[in-house]
């Protein structure tokens, strides 16, 4: 089987991959490092237990829930060696169930928006769960972020991590095909957080998996991220209509507030009054990465907090990056540190295929067929 090819690219290069067996099995024997530690985090209303796994490697500390594959906490040191949790989240399961705007979650079956929750595939029209006005967002009302995942911890060589498994049945949230998904979170000896996504289907469907961590490199609850410096390797972005659905245009960032090809503070142009910013209440757009779809992860974005010195570098094989500037945080949510989250107190950098691709023939395809395997990798590298 050819490991470097993907089935989500447009054209004939996507064809011909054999399906793999995706399911919990025997964990790899520990040959280095320490296996993640499991503890009870809480219970759902029906009594289902929610667990949290703690793992550490290379100076990075992470806590992950089996509810939605949520990264509940991610700690890294600053330039002085002082640790802070740089991801937004809650300290209890009830808030994740009732309130969370996808804090730290795995997103599927389709990350981002699909216009009117509708698409047509092979002559058949599908109506999806609608949960964002008239549109479908992040898989619908009960996307992958709102399910219990099976988790298998591992310690292998110098790596430690978690295998996460979820099977989405045919018709769930309106999507065709039973999708068997495996996501692997790995902490490397260098402290990198690597995400490997895999999925197979028994019927033609669409797939776009991503992670929805809210970042604040100064520490969650510490205030605005407008002084964070951001670089995105993209010369174009996808403008949207008032419902934040792409118009189909691939617009140039040159001469607009959307130009992050050279490093600049997020707050420099966030109130520039561009019509796209007014509609989105800030940045909430897909950047068309210059590298396109690649066989392996390539650097696409860098985020830095000048005060702490903490940096985040993101590498991906995907064609798009959704930069969301926390526009809809409204001060009603209290995080793990006991502080409220306000507008602009965090940002998301979601590696992805483009929003609404099933309805945009000119966008790279997100169709997955039986006998093919969806694969994608994103690597987060931290420094100070």
Residue among 212, 228, 285, 353 flagged as catalytic: 212
Place of tokens 């966008």: 363
Cα separation, 331 vs 311, whole angstroms: 26
Measured from the Cβ of residue 253, the count of other Cβ atoms closer than 10 Å reads 18
User: Distance between CA 128 and CA 116 in Å, rounded?
Assistant: 8
Q: Cβ neighbours of residue 360 under 8 Å, at least 6 residues apart?
A: 246, 248, 354
Q: Is 212 a catalytic residue?
A: yes
**53 and 149 Cβ atoms separated by less than 8 Å:** no
User: What is the DSSP code (8-state) at residue 148?
Assistant: B
Torsion of Cα atoms, 12 then 13 then 19 then 24, to 10°: -140
Distance, in Å, from the CA atom of 317 to the CA atom of 13, rounded to the nearest integer, reads 15
Structure tokens at 247: 């118009």
Instruction: Give the strand pairing for 264-265 and 311-316.
Output: unpaired
Q: Is the separation of the CB atoms in 270 and 256 below 8 Å?
A: no
Is 228 among the residues known to form the active site? Answer: no
Instruction: Kindly list the distances between the CA atom of residue 169 and the CA atoms of 113, 116, 121, 180, 260, in Å, as whole numbers in the listed order.
Output: 21, 22, 18, 8, 40
Q: Which residue do the tokens 């130009």 mark?
A: 259
- CB neighbour list of residue 275: distance below 8 Å, 6 or more residues apart: none
DSSP assignment of 255-311 equals TSTT--SS-EEGGGSTTS--HHHHHHTS-EEEEEETT-S-SS-EEEEEEE-TTT--E
Catalytic one among 228, 350, 353, 380? 350
| Residues with catalytic function | 212, 350
């Amino acid at each position: 089987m050819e490991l470097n090819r993907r089935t989500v690219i447009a054209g004939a290069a996507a064809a011909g991959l054999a399906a793999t067996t995706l399911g919990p099995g025997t964990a790899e024997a520990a040959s280095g490092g320490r296996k993640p530690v499991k503890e009870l985090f809480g219970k759902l209303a029906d009594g289902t237990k929610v667990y949290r796994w703690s793992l550490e490697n290379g100076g990075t500390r992470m806590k992950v829930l089996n509810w939605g594959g949520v990264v509940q906490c991610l700690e890294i040191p600053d330039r002085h060696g002082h640790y802070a949790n740089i991801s937004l989240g809650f300290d209890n399961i009830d808030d994740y169930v009732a309130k969370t705007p996808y804090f730290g979650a795995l997103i599927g079956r389709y990350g981002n928006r699909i216009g009117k929750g509708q698409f047509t595939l092979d002559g058949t029209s599908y109506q999806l769960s609608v949960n964002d006005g008239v549109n479908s967002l992040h898989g619908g009302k009960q996307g992958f972020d709102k399910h219990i995942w099976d988790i298998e911890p591992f310690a292998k060589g110098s790596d430690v991590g978690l295998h996460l498994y979820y099977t989405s049945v045919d018709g769930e949230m309106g999507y065709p095909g039973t999708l068997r998904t495996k996501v692997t979170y790995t902490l490397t000896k260098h402290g990198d957080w690597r995400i490997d996504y895999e999925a197979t289907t028994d019927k033609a469907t669409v797939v776009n998996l991503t992670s929805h961590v809210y970042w604040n490199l100064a520490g969650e609850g510490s205030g605005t991220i407008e002084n964070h410096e951001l670089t995105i390797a993209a010369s174009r972005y996808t403008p949207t209509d008032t419902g934040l659905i792409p118009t189909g245009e691939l617009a140039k960032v040159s001469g607009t507030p959307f130009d992050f090809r050279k490093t600049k503070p997020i707050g420099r142009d966030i109130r520039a009054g561009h019509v796209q910013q007014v509609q989105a209440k800030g940045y909430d757009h897909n950047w068309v990465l210059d590298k396109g779809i690649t066989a392996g992860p390539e650097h696409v974005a860098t985020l830095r907090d000048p005060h702490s010195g903490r940096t985040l570098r993101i590498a991906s094989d995907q064609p798009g990056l959704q930069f969301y500037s926390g526009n809809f945080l409204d001060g009603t949510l209290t995080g793990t540190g006991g502080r409220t989250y306000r507008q602009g107190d965090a940002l998301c950098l979601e590696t992805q295929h483009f929003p609404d691709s099933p309805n945009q023939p000119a966008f790279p395809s997100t169709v997955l067929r039986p006998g093919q395997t969806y694969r994608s990798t994103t690597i987060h590298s931290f420094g100070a």
